[in-house]
Amino acid sequence: MQKHLQDNICEERLFSSIFKKYAKDLHNFLYYKYGELLNPKDKVQEAFIKLWENCAKVSPDKAKSFVFTIANNLMLNETAHQKVILKYQQTKPKTYTNENPEFLMQETEYNNKLQKALSNLTEAQREAFLMNRIEGKRFKEIAEVLNISTKAVEKRIYGALEKLRKDIKEL
């Protein structure tokens, strides 16, 4: 394989650009998959430091899957596959603050149900669904991040949506 000097991740400029390109995606991916309790930010840092230490061995086109795999493994080392509880923001957009207390109570109740329903999703469903719904990523982008087909992403997200709605109704 031919390698050019500028293709070396050991060069800080290239390393930084790779970081800027993937770090946020990686963080959000970890966050939605494993929750914030396991410090997704630290895992991102660790994964990129590993990338730096192996910069001579990893070609730039492999860098993304390298850091994703490393970070995911770091998470797996720590999780005992406990339920992932995602926290939600209590503060509401201003338009809602004028609502009556009953409405606010209903909102909290709904969010609690949603929280439980989200933790009932599989990791695969949750990561794809939340990247789509919250980060506004399209199926194709998610497929690239997760290294799976667009069709699979679509299936996961739709499946997640149906499961959520069913769970919320039942709760």
Partner 1 sequence: MMNREELIVKWLNNDLNDLELEAFKMLEDYDDLIKLDANLKSFKADEYDTSKELESVLKTITQKRQTQTNWFKPFLRVAAILAICFGAYYYTTTLDTTVTTKLAQKTMVELPDNSKVSLNAKSTLVFNKSTWKKHRDVELNGEAFFKVAKGSTFHVNTTSGTVTVYGTEFNIKQRDNYFEVICYEGLVGVKYKSQETKLKAGDSFLIIDGKTIAKEKENRSQPSWLNNESTFKSLPFKEVIAEFERQYNVDIQLLNIDDTQLFTGSFAHSNIDVALKAITLPFDITYSKTNRTILLKRE
Sites of contact with partner 1 (CB under 8 A) = 12, 16, 19-20, 23-24, 27-28, 31-32, 36, 40-41, 44-45, 48-49, 52, 86-89, 92, 107, 110-111, 114-115, 118, 130, 132-136, 138-139, 154, 157-158, 161, 164-165, 168
| Other C-beta atoms lying within 10 Å of the C-beta of residue 107 | 14
Return the number of the residue (86 or 148) whose C-beta is nearest partner 1.
86
Minimum CB separation from partner 1 for residue 147, in Å?
19
Residue with smaller CB distance to partner 1, 12 or 99: 12
Cα angle 58-60-66, degrees, rounded to a multiple of 5:
55
What is the C-alpha to C-alpha distance for residues 128 and 119, in angstroms, rounded to an integer? Answer: 14
Residues contacting residue 35 through CB under 8 Å, at least 6 positions apart: 84, 85, 86
Residue whose CB is less far from partner 1, 1 or 93: 93
Instruction: Tell the smallest beta-carbon distance from residue 20 to partner 1 (Å).
Output: 6
Q: Are 68 and 29 in contact (CB under 8 A)?
A: yes
At its nearest, how many Å lie between partner 1 and the CB of residue 165? 7
The residue among 69 and 150 lying less far from partner 1, judged by its C-beta, is 150
Place of tokens 């999780």: 79
**What are the structure tokens assigned to 168, written together?**
């919320």
Sole residue written with tokens 């069913």: 166
Closest distance between partner 1 and the C-beta of residue 158, in Å? 6
